[in-house]
């Protein structure tokens, strides 16, 4: 059941977080996990006509959103990384993944996902360059001012030595002008959909902002 939904997440970003969360318990599922999976299926049954819309002539402006749910995993206390990338204002990639390490602060958890998102954006930039689109100053929107401050800080403090490689990687591209970090209010943080469970109103708002429409 989860395997089927994992295939479906390639076209349904609205179920990505819930499906990836359920996938963590495939090895030893309990009845409560089965009930959650069936609930996702009921949601899919009621939203069969919901999908992403990609009109032509939408441009090639590249931008991304990153977010993290600090210590969201109750079992291992690991954070969940969420990011999404837009090309010409249209959603083209999204991810929801439990981080490999336990973050010791909210800033660290946010910085981990920001560095990962930067890698993905640079890969997309390389692909676009092959088609003649040379893009710089790609905005990455984050709701953590600490991450933005660290990425432009000229001094590496002792508190961020444990994320040394990620620090230098992101900071290097910010200094080069390839990437620009911007602050976005949590209310308009679209990657929020990929990091935590939300109430119905918030969920519907973000689904609409991602560009999902009723295609009938």
DSSP annotation of 174 reads H
Which of 26, 48, 70 is the C-terminal boundary of a domain?
48
What strand order describes the sheet that includes 138-142? 90-98, 80-87, 62-69, 138-142, 179-183
**Are residues 70 and 121 both part of a single domain?**
yes
Classify residue 101: in a domain, yes or no: yes
- The band of 163, judged by pLDDT with boundaries at 50, 70 and 90, is low
Q: Which of 60-74, 153-167, 177-191 has the lowest mean pLDDT?
A: 153-167
Q: Is the pLDDT of residue 142 over 70?
A: yes
Q: How far is 142 from 103, CA to CA, in rounded Å?
A: 17
In a domain, 4, yes or no: yes
For the segment 189-213, the average pLDDT, to the nearest whole number, is 92
Q: What's the structural domain count of the chain? A: 2
Whole-prediction pTM? 0.88
**Same structural domain, 84 and 186:** yes
CATH number at residue 132: 3.30.420.10
Same structural domain, 31 and 126:
no
- Among 34-38, 86-90, 171-175, the minimum mean pLDDT is found in 171-175
Q: Is 37 within a domain? A: yes
Q: Do residues 39 and 89 share a domain?
A: no
- Domain assignment of residue 92, yes or no: yes
CA angle 49, 52, 56 (to 5 degrees): 125
Give the pLDDT score at 154. 56
Q: Are residues 6 and 111 in the same domain?
A: no
pLDDT of res. 138: 93
Predicted confidence at residue 155, as pLDDT, reads: 60
Query: Do 119 and 153 fall into the same domain?
Result: yes
Does 126 lie in the same domain as 81?
A: yes
What's the domain range around 98? Answer: 62-190
- 19 lies in the same domain as 92: no
Average pLDDT, the chain: 86
Residues 118 and 26 in one domain: no
The DSSP string of 122-172 is: HHHHHHHHHTT----SEEEEES-HHHHHHHH-SS--GGGGGGHHHHHHHHH
- The answer to the question of residue 53 being in a domain is no
Percentage of residues in the chain with pLDDT exceeding 90?
45
Given this model, what pLDDT does residue 7 score? 92
In a domain, 80, yes or no: yes
Q: Are 70 and 149 within one domain?
A: yes
Distance CA 23, CA 97 (A): 11
208: confidence class by pLDDT, cuts 50, 70, 90: very high
CA dist 96 and 19 (Å) reads 9
Domain match, 178 and 84 both: yes
Per the domain annotation, does 144 fall within a domain? yes
- Rounded distance, CA 161 to CA 156, Å? 7
Q: Looking at the domain assignment, is residue 212 inside a domain?
A: no
Is the pLDDT confidence value at 158 over 60? no
In 3-state terms, the chain is what percent helix, strand and coil (to 5)? Answer: 50, 20, 35
pLDDT in tens, 104-137: 777 788 888 888 899 999 999 999 999 888 888 9
Clarify whether residues 72 and 96 are in a common domain: yes
């Amino acid at each position: 059941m989860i395997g089927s939904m994992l295939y479906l997440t390639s076209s349904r970003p609205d179920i990505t977080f819930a499906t990836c969360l359920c996938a963590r318990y495939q090895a030893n599922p309990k009845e409560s996990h089965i009930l959650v999976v069936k609930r996702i299926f009921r949601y899919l049954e009621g939203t069969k006509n919901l999908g992403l819309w990609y009109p032509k002539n939408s441009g090639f402006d590249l931008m991304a959103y990153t977010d993290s749910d600090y210590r969201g995993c109750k079992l291992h206390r690991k954070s969940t990384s969420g990011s999404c990338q837009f090309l010409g204002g249209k959603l083209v990639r999204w991810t929801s993944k439990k981080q490999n390490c336990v973050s010791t602060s909210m800033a660290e958890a946010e910085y981990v996902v920001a560095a990962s998102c930067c890698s993905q954006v640079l890969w997309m930039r390389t692909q676009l360059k092959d088609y003649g689109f040379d893009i710089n100053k790609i905005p990455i929107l984050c709701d953590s001012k600490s991450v933005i401050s660290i990425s432009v800080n000229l001094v590496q403090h002792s508190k961020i030595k444990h994320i040394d490689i990620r620090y230098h990687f992101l900071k290097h591209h910010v200094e080069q002008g390839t990437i620009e970090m911007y602050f976005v209010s949590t209310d308009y943080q679209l990657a929020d959909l990929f990091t935590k469970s939300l109430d119905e109103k918030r969920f519907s708002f973000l689904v609409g902002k991602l560009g999902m429409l009723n295609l009938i």
